[in-house]
């Protein structure tokens, strides 16, 4: 009998993990929150995909009704609410939960200013320079636009229609938008920061997969300060640092 795995996906490493789990014989349903996320997973043969956004109650109902054996949470490191819903839903459905958490980036640059929130990042960035380069994505973009009206913003975002529409709604001009899909090399980061005449870079610790290391190296080359929004502090009942750790957990638990 196949063991049914509900995988909270949406990142590059989650897509890789989905393929590994399918290859190992698990019956995997990967959950994403956008059509873009679905398209990135469609190449994986044998993988079921859920692209309907789920709140905690809806997730619990699916876990119960479809008799999943385990929930694997491989959501983005900053998807705090998604992880909280996943933990609670798995507990309510009485199935095991394991969090795959990509490694953090080792600090390699002395001009990093650590903060806990986007609001604090905006405040710190404004003190460090006028031209601010945002690499924090589109979900929190409004926070920076609202708080940095006296600064010149450049936002690097995904080149999708809904994201670009959001940028336009927030009043960003084409000159302020860098719409391109990563990952980005050190050289490309350097050129983008230079082109925007950046005084400061704002980013998150998304790990190697998220390109944090290349951003920091580019900032070091240009001697730019970096405002780093640290990962949210969440208690995970079970935590795996590698794909092998996830597999070991599943083998031991199921």
Instruction: From residue 97, give the alpha-carbon distance in Å to each of 29, 60, 104, 198, 252.
Output: 15, 12, 21, 42, 13
| pLDDT on residue 1 | 43
Is the domain spanning 112-229 CATH 3.30.70.100? The answer is no
Mean pLDDT of 166-186: 94
Domain ranges across the chain: 4-102+233-253, 112-229
- Report pLDDT digits (tens) over 131-167: 999 999 999 999 999 999 999 999 999 999 999 999 9
Residue among 168, 130, 138 nearest 156 (CA): 138
- Helix ranges (H only) for 148-183 are 161-169
| pLDDT on residue 45 | 79
What pTM does this model have?
0.85
Do 112-229 and 4-102+233-253 fall under one CATH topology?
yes
Mean pLDDT of 178-188: 93
- Does pLDDT of 182 surpass 90? no
Mean pLDDT of 50-60: 90
Mean pLDDT of 15-28: 93
pLDDT grade for 32, boundaries at 50, 70 and 90: confident
- Does pLDDT of 40 surpass 50? yes
Supply the CATH classification number for the domain 4-102+233-253. Answer: 3.40.50.720
First to last CA, the chain: 11
């Amino acid at each position: 009998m196949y063991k049914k795995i509900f995988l909270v996906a949406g990142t590059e490493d989650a897509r890789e993990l989905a393929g590994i789990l399918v290859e190992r014989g698990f019956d995997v349903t990967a959950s994403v929150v956008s059509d873009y996320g679905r398209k990135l997973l469609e190449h994986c043969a044998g993988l079921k995909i859920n692209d309907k956004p789920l709140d905690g109650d809806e997730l619990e109902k699916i876990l119960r009704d479809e008799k999943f054996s385990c929930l694997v949470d491989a959501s983005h490191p900053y998807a705090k609410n998604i992880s909280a819903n996943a933990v609670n839903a798995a507990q309510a459905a009485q199935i095991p939960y394991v969090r795959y958490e990509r490694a953090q980036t080792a600090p390699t640059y002395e001009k990093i200013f650590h903060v806990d929130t986007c609001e604090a990042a905006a405040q710190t960035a404004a003190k460090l320079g006028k031209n601010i380069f945002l690499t924090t994505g589109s979900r929190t973009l409004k926070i920076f636009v609202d708080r940095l009206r006296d600064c010149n913003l450049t936002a690097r975002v995904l080149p999708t229609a809904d994201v670009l529409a959001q940028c336009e709604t927030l009043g960003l001009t084409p000159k302020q938008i860098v719409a391109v899909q990563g990952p980005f090399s050190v050289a490309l980061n350097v050129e983008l920061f230079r082109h925007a005449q950046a005084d400061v870079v704002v980013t998150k610790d998304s790990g190697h997969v998220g390109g944090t290391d290349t951003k920091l190296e580019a900032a070091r080359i240009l001697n730019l300060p970096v405002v780093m929004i640290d990962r949210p502090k969440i208690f995970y009942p079970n935590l795996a640092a590698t794909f092998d750790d996830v597999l070991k957990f599943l083998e031991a638990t199921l």
